[in-house]
Amino acid sequence: MEMKKLVKALTVAGLLTFTGNSFAVTADGTLGATSTGTVDIEVDISDLVRISNLVAMTGNVYTPGSAVTDSTPACIYRNGASNYEITATSSNGAGTNFFLNSGADTVLYDVTFDDGVGGPTDLNNAALESSFQDANQTSVDCSVGAGGSATIAVSVPENDATFNGLAEVPAATYTDELTITVGPR
Amino acid sequence: MRVLISKSIVCIVSLTVVILLIGNSLNAATTQGSLDTFASRGTVDINVRVGGDIRIYGLQTVRFGT
């Protein structure tokens, strides 16, 4: 009796497995006046992200009495979901700090990232920040659809207790290349 | 003479264009990310020019006849 149940169970399992595979309906045609064959087609789309619309923050001139601030828009696109994570890395960075460099001296600067819905979030150099949302899910360059309108802002202080501010360095042009890496979350 | 002036102008304009192109290319590292699976990476140039500022300080009032 138990053996019959086992055989039945195995038969059902076998049928289910066969049915599962048979969703692949690719089949050859039969010989006839006409012959019809079918072919399955399948495309997998991975979780994709893109950052774009970045604008250089160059041409800034320090005027004594105030910090230098600048910003760039950033389009964040993700297919299928709107949450994402960001890592900002300074080419002159050290530890968690972002630096501009003249070749001889460095100046500290701060970076914030605003996803367009949560307000500015302070970033640390080379540190993953995973709290962002509202990526555009329609257009890879944010030209269509809602969301994806982020802002990256930098602020270069005049003075700093630990590092150099703008009022504490020789005359020169101080530069950096900030790399923004976006990943799905 | 006219030909010489014309050639000089062409030379100056060409040189200016070349200088501008070189100048821009030095700051042309701002790039857009590509559509990718795990991470998309864009870069932004930042620069700030600090001029040769000068300051005199520590001055004190000079009083006569006190």
B10-32 per-position pLDDT tens digit: 555 555 444 444 444 445 589 99
Please, which pLDDT band fits residue B59 given cuts at 50, 70 and 90? very high
CB A87 within 8 A of CB A50: no
Per-residue pLDDT of chain A (185 residues; tens, 9 = 90+): 565 665 565 555 555 454 545 556 899 999 999 999 999 999 999 999 999 999 999 999 999 999 999 999 999 999 989 999 999 999 999 999 999 999 999 999 999 999 999 999 999 999 999 989 999 999 999 999 999 999 999 999 999 999 999 999 999 999 999 999 999 98
Contact A96, A127 (CB under 8 A): yes
Judged by a CB distance cut-off of 8 A, whether residue B24 touches chain A is no
Residues in A touching B26 (Cβ below 8 Å): none
CB-closest option in B38, B41, B52 to A171: B52
Helix and strand numbers (H, E) in chain A are 1, 10
Positive or negative, the CA dihedral A74, A78, A83, A86 is negative
Q: Are strands A98-101 and A128-132 parallel, antiparallel or unpaired?
A: unpaired
B31 at interface of A, judged by CB pairs closer than 8 A: yes
Angle among Cα B25, B31, A114 to the nearest 5 degrees reads 130
Asked if the model's pLDDT at residue B54 lies above 70, the reply is: yes
In chain A the beta strands, taken as DSSP E runs, fall at: 49-52, 57-61, 68-78, 84-90, 98-101, 106-114, 120-123, 128-132, 149-156, 172-184
Look at residue A83 in the predicted model and tell me its pLDDT: 96
Residue B54 contacts A, CB cutoff 8 Å: no
Q: Across the interface, which of A46, A175, A184 has its CB nearest the CB of B46?
A: A175
Q: What distance in Å separates the CA atoms of residue A177 and residue B44, rounded to the nearest whole number?
A: 6
Query: Phi and psi dihedrals of B49, rounded to 5?
Result: -95, 130
A152 contacts on B by Cβ (under 8 Å):
44
**Contact criterion met (CB < 8 Å) for B45 and A156:** no
SS3 (DSSP) at B46: strand
Query: Smallest Cα–Cα separation from A154: which of A71, A84, A96, A92?
Result: A71
Q: For chain A, give the longest Cα–Cα distance.
A: 95
Exposed/middle/buried for A40, CB within 10 Å: 0-12, 13-18, 19+? exposed
Let me know if A48 is exposed, middle or buried by CB neighbors in 10 A (0-12, 13-18, 19+). Answer: middle
Q: Where are the beta strands (DSSP E) in chain B?
A: 40-50
